Amino acid sequence: MNSITQETRLTVVYILVAFTFSVLMRMIWIYQFNDYEMFKYAGEFMINTNDGYFWAEGARDLLSGSGTNPMGENFYDKFHQFNDLSPVSTATAHLTALLAWMLPFSFESIILYMPVYLSSLVVIPIILIAKSIDNLEMGLIAALLASIAWSYYNRTMIGYYDTDMLNIVLPMFLLWSITWAIKTNQDKYLIITALDILVYRWWYPQSYALEFSFFGLILVYALVFDRKNMYNYKLLAIMMFAMLNIDGFIRFPLVLAVFFMFKQEHYQKYVYHLFAISVALFFISGGFNPIWGKLTAYIFDSSIQAGDEGLGLHFFTVMQTIREAGKIPFETFANRISGHTVSFIVSCFGYVYLVYKHKIMIFALPLVGLGFLASVGGLRFTIYAVPVLALGIAFLITELSSKMPTNKLKYLSIIAFTLMVLLPNYKHIEAYRIPTVMNASEVAILDKLKEVAQRDDYVISWWDYGYPIRYYADVKTLGDGGKHSGSVNFGLSFVLTASPELAAKMARLDVEFTERSFIIRKENMDKNESEQTKVFSNIEEMTKAYDFDDTNDFLYSLQTDVKLPKKTRDIYFYLPHQMLNIYPTVKIFSNLDLMNGEQEKAPFFFVSRNFKETQEKIILNSAVFMDKKDLTLSIKDKKVAIKRFVKTGYTKDMRFSKNIKYINESADLSIIYMSAYNTFLVLDEDTYNSMYIQLSVLEEYDKSLFEQVVVNPHAKIYKLKL
């Protein structure tokens, strides 16, 4: 009894040590930026992930709708507006609202610090898994490493308020319950495993694939190594019932009922029947569909996607522009999992050796496999392999240290090896000075917009800014981090990169057709399937509404005096200075022929911030420089005429100013020197005349189409008059 008590005490101590270490490492960011006021708003640090503003919007709306209690009666009816896309039904929003209601801290502090404490809980299942193979030292080492490994830290650092703060914690708890279930065959682990799946699915609805992988591995294990053990089929059955693609409020009592049956002796003869029923229900409920959908989205997606109905329009897919969904080099892949290439290789050998010595650890393969999917699916997946490979290298450390002749040398070697694997990860944390999503000036302008805009009004910007706009200005957007398909982005791209006149018309069209699509979808919910109206992309619906069967003809017609839909709400444009960095990416989505998918000629767009000035020329980079005497541009030793040279800046009282000097009317390229930002732009004529450049960079606009609402050097907001 004393030995068990001592082991339990040591387990708790190790968990507390690892948890504290994880929390303190995440506080380094606060220490680094504590005096940097641009990262704070209203005295509070802001978060540093765009998606975080999505969950924050939902939690904020829950709190505002319920008064003081986020779980009050009919709170949805008090605030939730049709089509506002606020995630009020999501787990992250509910947990955040509950914590904000219970804890004596500001809402901003809660969303800032939630990732710190929730993600650090991963040390618990890691150490408990190590306890199952009687190697607590391995668990402590693995917990220290996993809690701060590159990819895990990057996606759970302070301010990274997103579902990732529990997306590894919950599957690690699932792995712990599965290993103990297989090892002990105790009934309590049946219900723990099922409840873990229910919570994991509640928290992260995309958990299908990983849950199914665990299920498949257990099934193979049962059929090959332990076929006659009825407990394995109980475990598989209750897992499958928990995994059904139906509402959690149905799955929960179903799981409880199945567990109750498994506890009764006279139901034992029906275990195989229940297992067969659970598998059948899984496929009938469409349980495999989301798994295949995610795989095709991240692995098999092409850059151009064509519809197979309607006009069959072709759109550029957003996956091609998201860094976390792209292929990554091996060194980056290894560093993100273990901190260093050597550590990664050793960790892989360590995991193989761990499985060899303790067969139960083979059940961690789904996490390793999903992590290795990063080699083709993008760096976002590396996070899943972190804790398992941390266990691998930790096991090698304890095995090597156990060979030491004395206990003193044993523990000294454990400390030395542990510090060696932790050091590159600590260096990464110290150097990883990620900024907040928005700075204080950008938020201030949205705060002012909130005072003049209605909640039903739309703000148009690129989808990267959608969630922050909705959170701070409390308005609607056309695109955001969850609504950025090629068809959605076409309209945004067109508005931002077309001429102001065409942009104004498309903005009104896109907003009104978006609202129209919501109405049609709502009406369809009450119709029979045969009576439902198919809603295609906005641009296709526009084409049809104006009696065209070729979208190119419709877009061309916008140059005429086309009749626009009736105005139902106001539209604003949010144009941040930092969008300059992604202008070419924004342009890609509308720079193609929608009818055949062919890309148009890429615009000339060049930005230089690290230029050098000599007596004769301004060197923009090694291949581009401007002759100061005749104001010509040299690109790769080829002289190019300049149409105009523009210098912009701000006066002492922060009034915008610009000076335009025309040089060669027949030339296609222009140079803009943004003195306030120490930035040179070299643009072709179409880009120069685009809505974003005209309104954001030059503050040049038609007062019959646009009204300047609020501006500062970091962002500008205009209102559409159409």
- Per domain, the residue ranges of the chain are 2-35+105-431, 600-720
Q: Which residues pair with 638 in a beta bridge?
A: 635
Out of 309-313, 380-384, 466-470, 481-485, pick the least confident. Answer: 309-313
Share the mean pLDDT of the chain: 90
Q: What is the pLDDT of residues 272-283, one digit of tens each?
A: 999 999 999 988
* Confidence check: pLDDT of 76 > 60: no
Residue-level pLDDT at 267? 83
Query: What is the C-alpha to C-alpha distance for residues 213 and 243, in angstroms, rounded to an integer?
Result: 12
Residue-level pLDDT at 377? 62
Coil, strand or helix at 460: strand
User: What's the mean pLDDT in 57-71?
Assistant: 71
Q: What is the pLDDT of residues 584-597, one digit of tens each?
A: 999 999 999 999 98
Per-residue pLDDT band at 663 (split at 50, 70, 90): very high
Residue-level pLDDT at 509? 97
User: What's the mean pLDDT in 283-288?
Assistant: 79
Query: Which of 379 and 446 is assigned the larger pLDDT?
Result: 446
Per-residue pLDDT band at 71 (split at 50, 70, 90): very low
Q: What is the pLDDT of residues 241-251, one digit of tens each?
A: 999 989 999 99
Residue-level pLDDT at 595? 93
The answer to whether 612 and 626 are in contact (CB under 8 A) is no
The token pair at 675 is 């003195």
Residue-level pLDDT at 326? 55
User: What's the mean pLDDT in 475-483?
Assistant: 92
Percent of the chain's residues with pLDDT above 90: 77
The answer to whether 80 and 42 are in contact (CB under 8 A) is no
* Confidence check: pLDDT of 66 > 60: no
* Confidence check: pLDDT of 77 > 60: no
Per-residue pLDDT band at 305 (split at 50, 70, 90): low
CB atoms closer than 10 angstroms to residue 104: 4
Per-residue pLDDT band at 322 (split at 50, 70, 90): low
Out of 63-72, 107-116, 357-366, 576-585, pick the least confident. Answer: 63-72
Q: What is the pLDDT of residues 492-514, one digit of tens each?
A: 999 999 999 999 999 999 999 99
Residue-level pLDDT at 75? 47
* Confidence check: pLDDT of 209 > 80: yes
C-alpha distances (whole Å) from 671 to each of 41, 153, 650 are 35, 42, 18
* Confidence check: pLDDT of 80 > 60: no
Per-residue pLDDT band at 294 (split at 50, 70, 90): low
User: What's the mean pLDDT in 178-205?
Assistant: 96
129, 194, 202: which is closest to 167 by C-alpha? 202
Tokens 């939630």, residue located: 114
* Confidence check: pLDDT of 527 > 90: no
User: What's the mean pLDDT in 340-365?
Assistant: 96
CB atoms closer than 10 angstroms to residue 542: 22
The token pair at 463 is 């989808």
Tokens 């504590």, residue located: 34
Residue-level pLDDT at 530? 59
Exposure of 193 by Cβ count < 10 A (0-12 exposed, 13-18 middle, 19+ buried)?
buried
User: What's the mean pLDDT in 342-366?
Assistant: 96
Query: What is the C-alpha to C-alpha distance for residues 568 and 341, in angstroms, rounded to an integer?
Result: 57
Query: What is the C-alpha to C-alpha distance for residues 412 and 143, in angstroms, rounded to an integer?
Result: 19
- Kind of pairing, strands 632-635 and 624-627? antiparallel
The answer to whether 343 and 335 are in contact (CB under 8 A) is no
Ordered DSSP codes for 650-710: E-TT--EEEEEEE--TT--EEEEEEGGGTEEEEEEHHHHTSHHIIIIIS----TTTEEEEE
355, 416, 425: which is closest to 386 by C-alpha? 425
* Confidence check: pLDDT of 70 > 70: no
Out of 283-287, 355-359, 404-408, pick the least confident. Answer: 283-287
Q: What is the pLDDT of residues 1-31, one digit of tens each?
A: 455 688 899 999 999 999 999 999 999 999 9
Ordered DSSP codes for 221-266: HHHHH-TT-HHHHHHHHHHHHHH-SS-HHHHHHHHHHHHHHHHSGG
Out of 171-175, 364-368, 525-529, 626-630, pick the least confident. Answer: 525-529
Query: Which of 457 and 302 is assigned the larger pLDDT?
Result: 457
Query: Which of 116 and 321 is assigned the larger pLDDT?
Result: 116
Query: What is the C-alpha to C-alpha distance for residues 369 and 209, in angstroms, rounded to an integer?
Result: 11
Residue-level pLDDT at 30? 97
Coil, strand or helix at 139: helix
Q: Which residues contact 552 (CB under 8 A, 6 or more apart)?
A: 593, 594, 595
Query: Which of 77 and 460 is assigned the larger pLDDT?
Result: 460
Out of 43-52, 308-317, 349-358, pick the least confident. Answer: 308-317
Residue-level pLDDT at 54? 96
Residue-level pLDDT at 4? 66
The answer to whether 466 and 499 are in contact (CB under 8 A) is no
Ordered DSSP codes for 498-540: S-HHHHHHHHHHHHHHHHHHHHHHHHHTTS-GGGPPP---HHH
Per-residue pLDDT band at 85 (split at 50, 70, 90): confident
Per-residue pLDDT band at 380 (split at 50, 70, 90): confident
Residue-level pLDDT at 630? 83
User: What's the mean pLDDT in 534-544?
Assistant: 87
User: What's the mean pLDDT in 656-661?
Assistant: 95
Residue-level pLDDT at 69? 45
* Confidence check: pLDDT of 491 > 60: yes
User: What's the mean pLDDT in 322-339?
Assistant: 80
pTM for the model stands at: 0.89
User: What's the mean pLDDT in 335-345?
Assistant: 96
User: What's the mean pLDDT in 482-494?
Assistant: 92
Q: What is the pLDDT of residues 251-265, one digit of tens each?
A: 999 999 999 999 888
Q: Which residues pair with 574 in a beta bridge?
A: 717
Residue-level pLDDT at 235? 96
Q: Which residues pair with 719 in a beta bridge?
A: 572, 707
User: What's the mean pLDDT in 131-150?
Assistant: 96
In one-letter notation, the amino acid at residue 380 is R
User: What's the mean pLDDT in 88-117?
Assistant: 96
Sign of CA dihedral 378, 87, 692, 494: positive
Residue-level pLDDT at 3? 56
Instruction: Give the largest CA-CA distance in the chain.
Output: 97
Residue-level pLDDT at 79? 54
* Confidence check: pLDDT of 293 > 70: no
